[in-house]
Structure 1
Amino acid sequence: MLRNTLSLLLILLSLHSTFAQNQWALKSNTDGIKIYTATVADSKFKALKVECDYDASLSQIVAVLLDVNTCTEWVYHTKSVKLLKQPSPAEVYYYSEVSLPWPASNRDFIAHLTAHQDAETKIVTVDGPAVNGLMPPKNGIVRVTESTGKWIITPVTKNQVKVVYTLHVNPAGSLPAWLVNMFASEGPTQSFKGLRAQLKKPKYANATLPFIVNY
């Protein structure tokens, strides 16, 4: 437990240095889902950090995250998703379109997810930056090319994990402040509630992955 705690602390310290002037401020705390924001140097958009505990195994969480075709079932305002390629069981590229309220244009992006587990601590890191290429831009949809997301999944017990998710994105184009603020708090809260419901589905109940060793 001490080793896990120290490893998580080191990870969070690295995240702290990644986001310059990073003073995480608690924005909301709903149903055990804590949302923090922080300013980022040279960006008008704030970084987000979400913390939540789940009654699930490491494999269950990672199985949901890598099952990208089901994102429309739980990720806030996801209109469509398409798996583009899967080079390995722990790596996927996918396309996603995000639905925004009128008069804003929908956004889309291509993400590259990779999962890695520390052999000693069993902590799992899932990186999900936006990448260029693989699909051309679509008319009427604004392509997001600047986005960095990271999931840190720490085992607490055999069937309980702590999830820390950080995100910084440039949504491109022009968006009204109220819409940016909505996605900064309501979006992560609803997505993490959706993740909790997704984990209860039978297909993930006994999930096992060849590259994940459960606690």
Structure 2
Amino acid sequence: MYKFFPFLLLIIITTNTSAQNWKLTTDADGMKIYMAEVAGSKIKAIKVELELNATQSQLVAVLMDANTCVEWVYGFKSSKLIRQVSPSESYYYAEVNLPWPAENRDYVAHLTATQNPDTKVVTIDAPAVLGFVPIKKGIVRVERSVGKWVISPLSADKIHVVYTLQLDPGGNIPAWLVNTFATQAPTNSFKKLKEQLKKPAYRDASLPFIKD
């Protein structure tokens, strides 16, 4: 019944909230998961660190492909590209399944990917935006969250990934429940992400704004 929690993995909407004092909660299968208190919020922040056998272009291609998020982000009911500004910038809409009697959540994100020309580190942020999609009856709009992907090259075909997230899912979801199950989300979604990276559409990905 808690299948909606893994959707927290993909909401990467930027605000000014920050987390400190990370505490390791899980260290398994090559993945480290941390949680931290956030000032002014009952919802803890989460950080995931792991290495992936992929190039930066492969991972960014997957993350920027909004129409296929439902294939690997556990709990997604739908995801749809609504505006492509450039290869490194887009807007997408997503709806997330929650178990009855809770209402589904949705959001619109503005994805941007940039690469530091000196370090080659790629950063992906996506602030929430309003106005693209009207608020829908029976669905709670997620408006406040913080997240970031930082993707560093280790070798020709291996990358180090740090993912951080803090959000307020809105509505009547108890904070303790979100915090308890949020650490289960990375295990489910990153497992599918590894398989997604192997698909032909991403296996030989080459992006004009990234130098692997």
Give the TM-score normalised by structure 2: 0.88
The alignment partner of 1:56 has SS state of: coil
Q: Which residue of 2 aligns with 1:49?
A: 47
AA partner of residue 40 (structure 1):
V
Taking a change above 3 Å as real, the CA distance of residues 30 and 100 of structure 1, as seen in their structure-2 partners, is: farther
Q: Residue in 2 aligned with 1:78?
A: 76
Which runs of structure 1 show a deviation greater than 6 angstroms over 4 or more consecutive aligned residues?
none
Query: Structure 1: which 5+ residue stretches go unaligned?
Result: 1-16
Letter in 1 for 2:85: P
What is the alpha-carbon distance in structure 1 between the residues aligned to residue 165 and residue 184 of structure 2? 14
Structure with the bigger RCO (C-alpha within 8 Å, sep 6+) is 2
Give percent identity, aligned residues only: 58
Query: How far did 1:29 drift?
Result: 2.3
CA deviations 1:159-186 (Å, max 9, x no partner) are 0000001111110011134641354111
Which moves more between the two structures, 67-76 or 23-32?
Answer: 23-32
Partner of 2:5: none
Letter in 2 for 1:206: D
Q: Which moved further from structure 2: 86-95 or 173-182?
A: 173-182
Identify, as 1 or 2, the structure richer in helix. Answer: 1
Unaligned runs of 5+ in 2: 1-15
TM-score between both structures, scaled by the size of structure 1: 0.87
Q: Is the 8 A contact 2:17 2:146 kept in 1?
A: no
Larger displacement relative to structure 2 (28-37 or 191-200): 28-37
State the match for 1:19 in structure 2: 18
Cα displacement string for residues 112-148 of structure 1 (whole angstroms, at most 9, x for unaligned residues): 1100000011000001222222001111111001122
**Distance change in 2, residues 1:177/1:41 (3 Å):** closer
Task: Indicate the RMSD between aligned Cα atoms, in angstroms.
Answer: 1.5
Equivalences, count: 197
**Contact between 1:93 and 1:112, CA under 8 Å: does it hold in 2?**
yes
Equivalence for 1:59: 57
